[in-house]
Structure 1
């Protein structure tokens, strides 16, 4: 430990540069991760907020919920077997507000369930983000495919689908707008993949989210960037300590000659890695959480302490691997040969 601290004090600038790079890389990683989580919520909060369970759609729909139609007989069978099961449909559309301005929304309807808002004929419950558009309780909204008018009965928080605010309407009104009789999906809370029904394909919540094209493509791209940055941080540690070790071959030869074990030299490198990484992570976590609190309301950004904790552990593991790989050359140093080469 003392040897590690002395080395850090002697080469302050070098370690400060490494710490700054780790700080910037980790901060960028946290920001992108927060953006990925925020976009995930903005894209599919309606589904993500449901409990774990099984989603069922028509197996002929080719894993595309828009093409799915659940036979009413099978639907009633599932609802009878699973008391908490719910049949529901989602369809993108629009509403005209009282100023005759169109608002893009995602219409949602369902059978009676505590998992979804249940509304009456010509009533509507909206995501609270539409408050910013000037819509309020009691307003009358219209749709070009609907003969009646919707009266706003209330708002719900954080209910989005495909980056559009959700609008809960009655099944009767939904069928009139889209000229359909069947529901698209059935959801069984706490269900498992062993429950099979004729003509239906089952999905876990994670699998169903991946059937949403915009969700899977968006998350894959952002998560790839996050892990790419994590790998870069490990490479930085490996390159930095490798260069440091090359410059200190003569010193390590002397230390080995006087009886210092190779394990002590590895502990010195690991201690330096932990000190640099922890300090850098503390600063980047603090700044990322501050950004989480002050981020503009319209920005889809969500960074939980659980996510930052998991990424921090990954950074420490990657840093440990990088530092260890760079130190393999220490084990190969022969004291006499290193002393003869001299310290570079």
Structure 2
């Protein structure tokens, strides 16, 4: 450890360059991961806030929930057998406020359930983002497909769907607006063993998220960027330590000749890697967490502590693997041959 620290002090610039690169790559990774999580929450908070369970939609809908219609007799049977189950529907639409300003929302209605907001006819409960836009309790809203008016009764947190705020409405109002009598989905929470229902296809929460248009493509693209950056950081470690090790072949030969074990040389390299990585990660974590306060208003950004810890562990593992692979040449160093070559 003492040797590792002395070398870092002797070659400050070299190690600062590596630390700067690791800092920038990890900072970019944290920010993109935060954006991916933020967009995921903005796209599907309605589903992600639900407990684990099973969604059911009509098989003929071919995994397109807004084409699904659940037969009322099947719905009644399931709801009578499973008291915690709920039938629901989701449709994108618009609301007009008192100033005739149009707002895009996701209308959601459900049978009576603790999992969703239950509202009376003519009432509406909105995601809190609309309150931040100026709407308030008691406001009157209209819809071109609805003959009556909606009175805002309250706001709820973290209820978004397909990047639109959710608007909970009564089932009868929903049926009038969309000219349907059937619901689109059935959700059964906590269903560990898959319940087979004839004519219906089941989805876990994660599987159902992938039926949301653009969700899987959006998340796949961002997560691919994150993991590319992680791989790049591993390659940087491998290349950096490989070049350093090549330059120190003679030194390693002398150290081996005086009895220093190969394992000790590896520990020295690991200590240097750990020192650089911990400092770089500490700085990038501090800046990425503060990004919440400096990000433009309305930007979906959510970097949780769990995600930060997971990515940090991955960076440490990648750094360890990269440094270890580059150090394989240390094991092959023959003291006499290395001394004769001299230190480059």
Q: Aligned equivalents of 1:40 and 1:256: distance in 2?
A: 53
- Deviation per residue, 1:112-166 (Å, 9 max, x gap): 0011111111111111111233221111111111111111111111210000010
Shift of 1:100: 0.8
Aligned residues: 344
Shift of 1:254: 0.9
Partner residue of 2:260? 260
Partner residue of 2:52? 52
Partner residue of 1:175? 175
Partner residue of 2:295? 295
Partner residue of 1:123? 123
- 1:23-34 mapped onto 2 (5 Å cutoff): 23-34=23-34
Alignment gaps of 5+ in structure 2: none
Partner residue of 1:338? 338
Shift of 1:211: 1.3
- 1:204-223 mapped onto 2 (5 Å cutoff): 204-223=204-223
Partner residue of 2:66? 66
Asked if residue 103 in structure 1 is aligned to residue 117 in structure 2, the reply is no
Partner residue of 2:75? 75
Asked if residue 319 in structure 1 is aligned to residue 331 in structure 2, the reply is no
Shift of 1:88: 0.3
Partner residue of 1:276? 276
The answer as to whether partners of 1:122 and 1:151 remain within 8 angstroms in 2 is yes
- Deviation per residue, 1:64-100 (Å, 9 max, x gap): 1011111111111111111110000000000111111
Q: Aligned equivalents of 2:340 and 2:97: distance in 1?
A: 84
Asked if residue 165 in structure 1 is aligned to residue 195 in structure 2, the reply is no
Partner residue of 2:35? 35
Q: Aligned equivalents of 1:222 and 1:168: distance in 2?
A: 30
Q: Aligned equivalents of 2:102 and 2:245: distance in 1?
A: 65
TM normalised by structure 1 equals: 0.98
The answer as to whether partners of 1:193 and 1:202 remain within 8 angstroms in 2 is no
The answer as to whether partners of 1:56 and 1:187 remain within 8 angstroms in 2 is yes
Q: Aligned equivalents of 1:242 and 1:220: distance in 2?
A: 33
The answer as to whether partners of 1:193 and 1:204 remain within 8 angstroms in 2 is no
Q: Aligned equivalents of 2:230 and 2:30: distance in 1?
A: 10
Q: Aligned equivalents of 1:295 and 1:16: distance in 2?
A: 28
> Higher mean Cα deviation, 299-308 or 186-195?
186-195
**Secondary structure of the structure 2 residue equivalent to 1:91:** strand
* CA RMSD after TM alignment: 1.0
Partner residue of 1:286? 286
Q: Aligned equivalents of 1:194 and 1:105: distance in 2?
A: 32
- Deviation per residue, 1:297-344 (Å, 9 max, x gap): 411011111110000000000000000000001111111111111111
Q: Aligned equivalents of 1:128 and 1:171: distance in 2?
A: 21
Q: Aligned equivalents of 1:4 and 1:70: distance in 2?
A: 67
**Secondary structure of the structure 2 residue equivalent to 1:213:** coil
Partner residue of 1:85? 85
Shift of 1:213: 2.4
The answer as to whether partners of 1:107 and 1:166 remain within 8 angstroms in 2 is yes
Partner residue of 2:20? 20
Shift of 1:193: 4.9
TM normalised by structure 2 equals: 0.98
Alignment gaps of 5+ in structure 1: none
Partner residue of 1:233? 233
Shift of 1:294: 4.1
After the TM superposition, list the runs of 4 or more consecutive aligned residues in structure 1 that deviate by more than 3 angstroms. Answer: 293-297
Q: Aligned equivalents of 2:103 and 2:272: distance in 1?
A: 56
Q: Aligned equivalents of 1:137 and 1:297: distance in 2?
A: 23
